Homo-oligomer: A and B are copies of this chain.
Amino acid sequence: MHGPFVFQPGTTRDDSRILSLRHGSVMIIVTAIGTPDSAIERIVEHVERCGLRVNVSRGEQRTIIGCIGDHDRLIAANLGRLEGVEQVLKVGKPYKLASRAFAASPTHVALGDAAGTVVGGRELVVIGGPCSVEGRDMLQHTARAVQASGARALRGGAFKPRSSPYAFQGLGAEALELLAETRRDTGLPVVTEVLDPRQVELVAEYADVLQVGARNMQNFALLTELGQARRRVLLKRGLSATITELLMAAEYILAQGNTQVMLCERGIRTYETATRNTLDVAAIPVLKRETHLPVLVDPSHAAGKADLVTPLAMAAIAAGADGLLVEVHPDPTCAQSDGEQSLTFEAFDQLMRQARVLAGAMGRTIAPATVVESAAV
């Protein structure tokens, strides 16, 4: 049986640390050629009025003004409006709690209860399941299949964000019940998306991990609510979000005290139409360098086509991802959403076999395939 949720608090919010990180930022103002002294003085006064100290260094043609202190009190963009300011440069990361400077060692996020799978460690964790929960049978069937192939958690949408109001919107609360039932039967922790801050409490009752979809990456009301929830969060990169914006979205959750956040690269929007999205595989090493949070990859949404899912999954593993999120469906030709990119059980099993070899070559482990008879933890 799946035990009660035990939240694993990580590093708690440390305001003095954040302030120190803020002070580590540097803001530099460079003046235009020929700026008169009077204009330079007015710039200096403006900066000092905001409570920062300045360091003025006059060159032959330009003057460089370094600003020392808490830059959040000085709005960089506005400086551009002052006479004589040619460029304003900020050095330092806008994310604090999400940064490596805050926590050098990787954060481990436990998917389910205390003894369960941990994301962010040596094990490469695969989460599989249907795009949408379409009914009890298909869900149970899929859960057992992905578990048998080595998946360590079950994904399945209850509330679906769809571009069209006329498209299938998910089974809602009924799907949550089915997910919880399937967890009871298989022991697989459950990942499902939450779309609305008003749903967080409800979804948190049923799911182990609350997913924020790409379209909601900058839904700050939702992020703040999740920051106050006692559940792990899987935060997907927005359709055209920069890596910095993804980390700032995580910062919203972290700043509320919830440190159990996993990031997920799922492809970005570009001009290329051969794939649904363009998997930004370089985001994986960039994120691993910038943050202590685990990095997952969703090759299904990036590819948009089933035959590309496995090559993208392999690329993600080779680039250092901590795990994968893969869409699997008993009969993709009948799926109510994302059928084009869903893998059959057989294709998923092949992906897992290949992943296991590759993970080994990368010095990581991956759960073995098992014949699950009667599940239950």
Contacts and interface: CB of A to CB of B under 8 A. Distances in A.
Interface of A: 18, 22-24, 26, 28, 30, 33, 46, 55, 57, 59-62, 64, 66, 68, 72, 75, 77-82, 86-87, 89, 91, 94, 96, 101, 161-167, 195-199, 215-216, 218-221, 224, 238-240, 242-245, 248, 251-252, 255, 268-275, 278-286, 289, 302-303, 305-308, 311-312, 314-320, 332-341, 357-358, 360-362
16 contacts: A46-B333, A72-B167, A77-B339, A78-B332, A80-B305, A86-B91, A163-B245, A165-B224, A165-B252, A196-B221, A240-B271, A242-B271, A275-B282, A279-B281, A284-B311, A311-B319
A62 B285 contact: no
B81 A91 contact: no
Copies of this chain present in the complex amount to 4
A124 to B, nearest CB: 13
A77 B338 contact: yes
A161 B311 contact: no
A80 B340 contact: yes
B357 A91 contact: no
Given A62-B24, A197-B197, A314-B318, A255 B340 contact: no
Contacts of A94: 163-164
Nearest to A240: B240
Contacts of A238: 239
Contact of A275 (B59, B161, B286): B286
